[in-house]
Amino acid sequence: MRDGGTTAPAGLASAAKDSLCAAGATPCLPKTAFGERAMPEAIRESPARERKTRMLEEVRAGLSAQRKHLPSTYFYDRAGSRLFEQITRLPEYYLTRAERVLLMDRAPAWIAKLRPRSLIELGPGSAEKTRVILDALHVAETTGVYAPIDVSAAFLQETVARLRQEYPRLAMRPIVADMRGDLGVPSTLPRPALFAFLGSTIGNFERANAIRLLSRLRAAMLTDDRLLLGVDLKKDVRLIEAAYNDAQGVTAAFNRNVLRVLNRELGADFDPDSFEHLAFYASEHDRIEMHLVSNREQDVTIPGAGVFPFRLGESIRTEISCKYDRDDVESLFAGAGLVSEEWAAHPEGLFAIMLGAPAS
């Protein structure tokens, strides 16, 4: 089940947009406002050695812990990003559909009011929902540059290539970066900027790390910039657990993909079939925990990191996905120097988007 599809955005992207741009009625013209020559492609490869060193350190620390864990960032190579894309279309995965409903409802008014000249998005994935914002930007005749920031380099390139076809006159500044470090937001982007952090990716961060990340976002914002933060809401646990335990097993394949990434990038010898997918709601933390459970006693060797023994039934926690209410988000904002301007919640309480601004 596809999340609303791309018909409307793709349609908007052609004729109407071209005629507006050709008539000079919109500042989305790359050649006049932010010409391709003046603002060249900005795919900035994270240095491979830096990535490998960090990955090795994190994997060694995570697998040496009493309760083994791995950063969820390493799900996302090209295959992992494609699997996540499939997850967003699953009948059980309400998050994407609910957030899209909110964006379709609110984005036009937000954009008309803020009139941002840049859209800077953290972790866009396939940018399906971003198209709702891009279309609103186009209708408001305001957009200058779209700057998606993602760690999944090859998939980001695919996303940008598709957007280029759909929005031929939109200037793009794709940035490959790990959002857990320097966000790499160029200071030259036209302002005001709308920052978007959708898909409840913030939920993958423990509270302290979420505040750190939002603080870095805040530091990249100027007074008139705004942030759209998408969050998954606390609700009936059965609905939440179903979203991470789909009947087709796509989430299980996504979960195991982290082992494939470690095998390829670190030369590890994980046997993905010897780990079972487990996802459950940990009510004491208001979060989903996703694990890989060893279905036999085994040793896993990771060159440069060590040999890691697994007992039968021992698990690696591979992802957390925190669930929120409005107070939780206000509290994250307060910790990060942000203030909330508007809370848009799905009518069935499935999902919410907080519009935030830098605290003065």
**Among the candidate windows 61-69, 176-184, 214-222, 238-246, which touches ligand SAM by CB under 6 A?**
176-184
Write the binding mask 198 to 217 for ligand SAM: x where contact by CB under 6 A, - elsewhere.
Answer: xx-x----------------
Which span sits near ligand SAM by CB under 6 A: 60-68, 193-201, 235-243, 323-331?
Answer: 193-201
Token output for 196:
């978007």
Tokens of 95: 């998050």
Q: Give the span between the Cα atoms of 116 and 121, in whole angstroms.
A: 13
Q: Which is nearer to ligand SAM, 84 or 324 (CB)?
A: 84
Q: Is 294 exposed, middle or buried (0-12, 13-18, 19+ CB in 10 A)?
A: buried
* Residues 117 to 146 in contact with ligand SAM, rule: CB under 6 A: 123-125, 129
Among 152, 257, 294, 315, binds ligand SAM (CB under 6 A): 152
Question: Is 251 a residue that touches ligand SAM (CB under 6 A)?
Answer: no
Shortest separation between residue 90's beta carbon and ligand SAM, angstroms: 12
- Cα 181 to Cα 73, 176, 184, 212, 290: the distances in Å are 12, 12, 9, 10, 24
Binding of ligand SAM at residue 159 (CB under 6 A)? no
Q: Does 76 bind ligand SAM (CB under 6 A)?
A: yes
- Residue 88 found at the interface with ligand SAM (CB under 6 A): yes
Regarding 257 and contact with ligand SAM (CB under 6 A), the answer is: no
Using a 10 angstrom Cβ sphere, with 0-12 exposed, 13-18 middle and 19 or more buried, the burial of residue 176 is buried
CB contact at 8 A, 279 and 251: yes
Distance CA 305, CA 40 (A): 39
Instruction: Using CB under 6 A, count the residues that bind ligand SAM.
Output: 19
| Shortest spacing between CB 178 and ligand SAM, in angstroms | 4
Smallest distance, Å, CB 317 to ligand SAM? 16
Q: Which of 229, 277, 273 is nearest to 252 (CA)?
A: 277
The crossing angle, in degrees rounded to 10, of helices 48-64 and 250-266 is 110
Query: Quick check: 148 binds ligand SAM (CB under 6 A)?
Result: no
Q: Among residues 194 and 198, whose Cβ is nearest to ligand SAM?
A: 198
Compute how many other C-beta atoms are within 10 angstroms of the C-beta atom of residue 268: 20
Q: Which of 59, 69, 73, 194 binds ligand SAM (CB under 6 A)?
A: 73
- Euclidean distance between CA atoms 173 and 141, whole angstroms: 19
- Both tokens of 349, joined, read 């309480």
User: Applying CB under 6 A, does 62 fall inside the site for ligand SAM?
Assistant: no
Which of 151, 229, 243, 353 is the binder for ligand SAM (CB under 6 A)? 151
Please, which residue, 201 or 315, has the CB nearer to ligand SAM? 201
- Residue nearest to ligand SAM according to CB distances in the complex: 199
**Rounded to the nearest whole angstrom, what is the least distance from the CB of residue 96 to ligand SAM in the complex?**
6
Residue number, 20 or 242, with CB nearest to ligand SAM: 242
| 8 Å CB contact between 232 and 200 | yes
Exposure string over 196-222, b if 16+ CB within 10 A, otherwise e = bbbbbbbbbbeeeebbebbebbbebbe
Coil, strand or helix: which one is 119? strand
Q: Which of 13, 77, 81, 289 binds ligand SAM (CB under 6 A)?
A: 81
Which spans of this chain sit near ligand SAM (rule: CB under 6 A)?
73, 76, 81, 84, 88, 96, 123-125, 129, 150-152, 178-180, 198-199, 201
